[in-house]
A and B are shown apart, each in its own frame.
Chain A
Amino acid sequence: MLGGKLFADAGGDVIQIEPPGGSASRIPPYYKNIQDPEKSLFWFVYNTNKRGITLNLQKPEGRELLKKLAAKADIILESSVAGYMDSIKLGYSDICKIKPDIIYASISPFGQTGPKSHFLASDLTSVASSGFLNACGDPDRAPVWIGFPQSGQYAGAEAAIGAMTAYWHRLNTGEGQFVDVSMQESNMSANMNTLQMWDVNKVEFNRVGAVSYVAATNVKQPIYFKCQDGFVMILALGGNPPYVPSSTKLVQWMEEEGMAPDWLKNLNWEVDYNAAVLKQELADKVGKAIEAFTLTKTKTQLYNEGAFERQILIAGVSNTKDITEDIQLKSRNFWTTITHPELGADVPYCGPFAPFSESPIEFKRRAPLIGEHNQEIYIGELGLTKADLTTLKDKGVI
């Protein structure tokens, strides 16, 4: 759905197809917590600017209708179990027969072919397969994921980039093609440098938790600190720039507020707090002194004054409320609203994924209701009659 949203936001005419009764993706959370498939916030977010129809692909009539739609489409995006679309004769080779230059993008856990192509995955197991899960969490407990599913979003974005790449090729050559997206691969680049650490130096990176970990000495330097209303990260490290000047400025700030003990004022960040010689005892002592200071302030105070006025390497651990109130996002007019007439409300949304100067993204319509554009598309664009629609409805096709 995210892949289609990118096209829809960028101006494409995207039709979201769901089974009669509504998609399984109309999941919680719900608008005002009212459990109703028409109020799924998950659905709202990923289907902006799309039209929507219902269609039952398990019925032969449904499959015929999909072919009619495909004949008019540039791109098909789908994420069913690998091989399923082929099994119902709606796979890439089937669609090619009626639309030879179609671009057909499939998202699956491991790709369409290969030894694991038949494996099932959830978002969590997908992060495990990418190696990224292994890098996250406290060492004394199980690895942890990012609490809101990310893998499917990475894969959706990949499908959009892949389809767009194929589209460019079609503009050049007239040729369509198949786009085979792997969720496992999609989450893999987030490993940053851990795969290369193994491949190049045979160093196996494992999760270290909320610290800066010095592999050579096994010392864990605290960089997350409790404050009045949550946590902040301060890269209170030494050795070289940009850390030394930042840490020095932090101590100055603490001193101004009478919270820097003498030993801390005298600490040489370049020499004494250098990772090569640093002992755990000193790291813990410094961490405690900093936390005593951060506990006197809020996230916003620490971030606004620390990062901007004092040039300290600091970031608040923001929650969704902090993000909502963030002054930078407000000042760039990031947020938008979309009218949902049936809710009688303008619902707040994240703004564009990127600001285009010449072709800015506009949010022209909210996500479609179940079958909202059935008439418009089946009658208006595929040439069916009202009577046809009634028959199809009775047969459970739409």
Chain B
Amino acid sequence: MSNQPFEGIKIAEFAWVVVGPSTSRYLADSGATVVKIESHKRMDTNRINGPFVNGIPTPDGSMFFGKHNPNKYSVSIDLRHPKGKEIAWRLIKWADIVTEAFSPGTMEKLGFGYEDVKKVRPDIIYFSSSMQGRGGPHSSYAGYGQNAVNFCGLTEITGWPDRLPSPPYGACSDYISCRFSAFALLSALAYRRRTGKGQYIDQSQFESTIQFMAVPIMDYQVNGKIMNRNGNRLPTAAPHGVFPSQGDDRWVAISVMDETQWHQFCRVIGNPALATEQKYATLAQRKKNEDELEKLVAGWTVRHTAAEVEQLLQSAGIPANCVEKPSDIYQDPQIEHRHYFTPLQHPFMGQQKYEAQECFLLSKTPRLLDRPSPCLGEHNEYVFKEFLKMTDDEIADCIVAGAITTEFTEKMTSSF
């Protein structure tokens, strides 16, 4: 093992799906020890979400689960079983940080709520994450990020003014929330180091996500202006959009951010006189005639490949980028250069490429992925013996009693 920043920091992860597991990954990729607590009755539900290796849904074959869980251990214990509870308590006592993302109230019912844990471990850092937080009339709201992007205001401002909104793909509220919670956990660790005090962080994903909407929200609250969707336009730049290029569904994003870039742009498209034409000579004029301007730009881009446009404009000092498709990402030389993907050998899935969670490179302690995502319960023996000092007999008893689960009771169905 190298000398990673969070070596020695221990996390008991009851959290599942995206936000909690992505949050703990920031620490795991810099050396923290994370134990996922699942069971065959209640595994991380991302295990049933694809893509699956060979297209066959099985709990150990999902790379969607894989994406959020490399560098972690998995144990399978039944939290409703008295002996399972005992093991959970031992893990909680072992840990510096507890994370959970059940519906509010579930951990409390199981006897592992913050107040219970605090009595035993006053310095614990306890992180709960739910859609809308504890307390309040909508605390019980159940759902995924696919729901949250809507009430967080992201859908409303995405798409074309003459059409239905176009929801941003997937669950970006989850990927916004995990950034705030990771920073929150690190702040809480630093606070504990200074004061010896632990604390409770009750994240509402709603409240975290709308931080990324804070400016339009303030614009409504002080100016009464409601932001709507407007394609790819930006009030302070033109042309600013996504334009067609040669090939099947191939596009290129272009942003002409100031007057220098506008003049350069006209030169690159072989029409320098356009820059000073009255209709386009100033930003105000270009905004006024933006429909026409965009047609003109598209008329140029469509004669080139996206890569050509990107190259021509970048060389002239204008931001432009191919709209990269998933297959492009895996061939992007910059992604390759920074080793954003790490190939790791998974016991069931074979070699898989794992995405980085940390989008930064530390010069002395770079992000390190050295273990693949765990199979369900893969590390029962290792964790119980090495971390909890349980004996073989104790473990065997727990398996016989059903406190450590080893088999499924029902067949798994995949939702996508």
Give B8-44 interface residues, CB cut-off 8 Å to A.
18, 22, 26, 30
CA distance A396 to B317 in the complex (A): 28
Contact B242 A128 (CB under 8 A): yes
Query: With a CB–CB cut-off of 8 A, which chain A residues contact B206?
Result: 328-329
Q: Residue B323 contacts which of A128, A141, A332, A347 (CB distance < 8 angstroms)?
A: A128
Q: Residue A327 contacts which of B63, B137, B155, B216 (CB distance < 8 angstroms)?
A: B137
Q: Residue B317 contacts which of A120, A141, A352, A355 (CB distance < 8 angstroms)?
A: A120
Interface string of B195-217 (1 = CB under 8 A from A): 10111111110111011111111
Contact B325 A131 (CB under 8 A): yes
Stretch at the interface among A13-21, A61-69, A143-151, A255-263: A143-151
CA distance A193 to B52 in the complex (A): 11
Query: With a CB–CB cut-off of 8 A, which chain A residues contact B176?
Result: 150, 153-154
A196 to chain B, nearest CB (A): 4
Query: With a CB–CB cut-off of 8 A, which chain B residues contact A235?
Result: 146-147
Contact A124 B51 (CB under 8 A): no
Contact B146 A111 (CB under 8 A): no
Q: Residue B51 contacts which of A28, A111, A116, A201 (CB distance < 8 angstroms)?
A: A201
Contact B253 A133 (CB under 8 A): yes
Interface string of B156-175 (1 = CB under 8 A from A): 11111001111111111001
CA distance A354 to B3 in the complex (A): 30
CA distance A55 to B133 in the complex (A): 42
Q: Residue A148 contacts which of B151, B215, B357 (CB distance < 8 angstroms)?
A: B215
B75 to chain A, nearest CB (A): 25
Query: With a CB–CB cut-off of 8 A, which chain B residues contact A145?
Result: 158, 232, 242
CA distance A291 to B354 in the complex (A): 42
Stretch at the interface among A83-91, A163-171, A369-377, A381-389: A163-171
Contact A231 B165 (CB under 8 A): yes
Contact A354 B180 (CB under 8 A): yes
A71 interface residue, CB < 8 Å from B? no
B244 interface residue, CB < 8 Å from A? yes
B381 interface residue, CB < 8 Å from A? no
Contact B180 A353 (CB under 8 A): yes
- Who on chain A is nearest to B199 by CB? A358
Contact A327 B6 (CB under 8 A): no
Contact A224 B167 (CB under 8 A): yes
Give B313-357 interface residues, CB cut-off 8 Å to A.
314, 317-330, 332-335, 337-338, 340, 352-353, 355-357
Query: Secondary structure of the B side of the interface?
Result: mixed
Contact B223 A353 (CB under 8 A): no
Give B216-266 interface residues, CB cut-off 8 Å to A.
216-223, 225-232, 234-237, 240-244, 249, 251-255, 257
Contact B190 A168 (CB under 8 A): yes
Query: With a CB–CB cut-off of 8 A, which chain B residues contact A228?
Result: none
CA distance A201 to B52 in the complex (A): 8
B363 interface residue, CB < 8 Å from A? yes
A180 interface residue, CB < 8 Å from B? yes
Query: With a CB–CB cut-off of 8 A, which chain B residues contact A209?
Result: 164, 166
A203 interface residue, CB < 8 Å from B? yes
A319 interface residue, CB < 8 Å from B? yes
Tell whether A182 pairs with B198 under 8 Å between CB atoms, given A124-B255, A164-B187, A353-B184: no
B-contacting residues of A (Cβ < 8 Å)? Answer: 6, 10, 27-29, 31-33, 41-42, 44-45, 92, 105, 110-111, 113-117, 119-138, 141-150, 153-155, 157-162, 164-169, 171-173, 175, 177-182, 184-186, 188-201, 203-207, 209-210, 224, 226, 230-233, 235, 240, 242, 303, 307-308, 313-324, 326-329, 331-332, 334, 347-359
Assuming A210-B167, A320-B217, what are 16 further A-B pairs, CB within 8 angstroms?
A114-B338, A137-B158, A147-B227, A164-B190, A165-B362, A190-B170, A209-B166, A224-B164, A232-B150, A235-B146, A308-B137, A315-B147, A324-B221, A328-B206, A354-B184, A358-B191
